[in-house]
Structure 1
Amino acid sequence: MTVIESDVRLAERLATEAGEILLALQKSSGLTGKDLGKAGDEQANAYLMRKLRAARPDDAILSEEEKDNGERCSVRRAWIVDPLDGTREYGEGRTDWAVHVALAIDGVATVGAVALPALGLTLTSGSPKPLEPAGDPLRMLVSRTRPAREAVAVAETMGATLVPMGSAGAKAMAVVRGQADIYLHTGGQYEWDNCAPIAVAQAAGLHVSRVDGSPLVYNCADPYLPDLLICRMELAAQVLELVKALPPA
């Protein structure tokens, strides 16, 4: 087994087990809403930090739920995790939430595992699935609460149907799973929101980039990432051109 294969297996196991912790908390805690989401974030993060530090003591870690240490930027290998992506959806008892475990090497999303615990699925960069045929009409994923202006405009031009969904991981995996064709996001995210989804989507043969076509770079001093595009390869050039042609907000 290569080092990367071992990393993929570790990411898959940890994302899956963190998801099991979150499901058990949903069933047994008696908590709901924001209180459940906060408890879930804390428990899943504690588990992932403990396991990653034990398994990969020489690697850096960037987690949404941990105080950031800029020293990680000098380390080639950085684990980037979101213990609970879609806290609102989790607290509401929906299925569109996820656990992200990723490894960036030299700034590249190299290993990724995205668990969809409520669906009993964990998708990884090590086991890409064949892409399903494109939808007819095309399907554009948007936020449940804040559909991005750019996504709505591009969908209208392409004749795509809008598909509202919760977490970033759930949206990205919907494209991987053939439930949608385009995930265009311009509302701002952080590295932990999309590093694992990008690694999985890229391994599945999808186009991944910023909305100007440039690559997504990880383990940066500022972990903010303003935008991204995940879509079928044959749609990428058209989507990028349409975004470029949009008037300023």
Structure 2
Amino acid sequence: MISRLSDAELAARIAQGAGEILVGVRHGGLLEGRRLGDVGDTMAQAWIAEILARHRPRDAVLSEEAPDVGDRATADRVWIIDPLDGTREFAVGSADWAVHVALTEGGRVTEAAVSLPATGELFRTDTVDEPTGELTGLMATSRHGGSYEAAWVSSRLNLSMVGIGSAGAKAMAVVRGTVDAYVHSGGQYEWDNCAPVGVAEAAGLHCSRLDGSEIVYNQPSPYMPDFVICRKEIRAEMLTALELVW
């Protein structure tokens, strides 16, 4: 029965379903620009909120697009949601946007799913595979230019920077194996990277803060200024390079 869905299955269905709603919002080019982004954010948030209230009413929720549900300070189980990661990309017709759904327990991600609806991809912690094959020599960065730390790592590890839109799309490029790393130091919030980090960890990738410390979620302030996701083959080189600038 649907009411007995596992956390992993629920996360995946929410991520996929919200993505389908967002694809529908873009249908026919009837909305565009900022209005398209605003409607997408609102509709995806409303649907996700109803699903979690129906299926996990005792859990707390942290979302970019709505006030907290429940008391995150005392709750052990907290869903961290970004109904539309990459609103700007979504609004201009790019494929580099995502839906993030993660469950954290004790500050660690236990289940997560990231959907890339424009490309029909769904990544989930219970089925994701570790990237294999040769390293690509590529690193995901913002289309609008990377940070000093990203440029430093790019130079030290000889990684060519590839511009990709949303945080979820960048992280899933590492999971997919099309790039080797994603270094972020420009400031984000927990909803921007919680589900991507959860999926990346499940895929056997290295994930940490830039100083190498563990990433812990459901903090009193949801601001998450920095992190790195990379292939485990370059973990040591990556952290050594970051020690020199962070």
TM bracket, shorter-chain basis: over 0.9
Q: Does residue 1:59 correspond to 2:59, yes or no?
A: yes
| Contact residue 70 and residue 221 of structure 1 kept, 8 A | no
| Contact residue 60 and residue 70 of structure 2 kept, 8 A | no
Partner Cα separation in structure 1 for residue 141 and residue 225 of structure 2: 15
What are the residue-to-residue correspondences of 1:92-111 with 2, within 5 Å? Answer: 92-111=92-111
1:234 Cα deviation from its structure 2 partner: 1.8
Partner Cα separation in structure 2 for residue 28 and residue 60 of structure 1: 36
| Contact residue 80 and residue 101 of structure 1 kept, 8 A | yes
Which residue of the partner structure matches residue 243 of structure 2? 244
Give CA deviations for 1:97-130 in whole Å, capped at 9, x if unaligned: 0000000000001111000000111100010213
| Contact residue 96 and residue 166 of structure 1 kept, 8 A | yes
Which residue of the partner structure matches residue 17 of structure 2? 17
Which residue of the partner structure matches residue 193 of structure 1? 192
**Structure 1's 5 and 203: CA in aligned 2 closer, same or farther, altered over 3 A?**
farther
Contiguous gaps of at least 5 residues in structure 2: none
Which residue of the partner structure matches residue 115 of structure 1? 115
Equivalent position amino acid for 1:98 in 2 = A
Which residue of the partner structure matches residue 233 of structure 2? 234
Which residue of the partner structure matches residue 202 of structure 2? 203
Q: Does residue 1:33 correspond to 2:33, yes or no?
A: yes
What are the residue-to-residue correspondences of 1:81-160 with 2, within 5 Å? Answer: 81-136=81-136, 138-160=137-159
Partner Cα separation in structure 1 for residue 65 and residue 135 of structure 2: 37
| Contact residue 112 and residue 125 of structure 1 kept, 8 A | yes
Equivalent position amino acid for 1:162 in 2 = M
After TM superposition, the score normalised by the length of structure 2 is 0.95
1:184 Cα deviation from its structure 2 partner: 0.5
| Contact residue 5 and residue 126 of structure 1 kept, 8 A | no
After TM superposition, the score normalised by the length of structure 1 is 0.94
Partner Cα separation in structure 2 for residue 149 and residue 5 of structure 1: 44
Instruction: Please state whether the residue corresponding to 1:243 is helix, strand or coil.
Output: helix
Equivalent position amino acid for 2:179 in 1 = A
Partner Cα separation in structure 1 for residue 41 and residue 5 of structure 2: 27
203-212 vs 152-161, greater mean Cα deviation? 152-161
Partner Cα separation in structure 2 for residue 45 and residue 194 of structure 1: 17
Equivalent position amino acid for 1:209 in 2 = S
230-239 vs 62-71, greater mean Cα deviation? 62-71
Contiguous gaps of at least 5 residues in structure 1: none
1:5 Cα deviation from its structure 2 partner: 7.8
Q: CA RMSD in A?
A: 1.6
Q: How many residues align?
A: 243
Partner Cα separation in structure 1 for residue 5 and residue 233 of structure 2: 29
Equivalent position amino acid for 2:44 in 1 = A
Partner Cα separation in structure 1 for residue 135 and residue 35 of structure 2: 38
Equivalent position amino acid for 1:201 in 2 = A
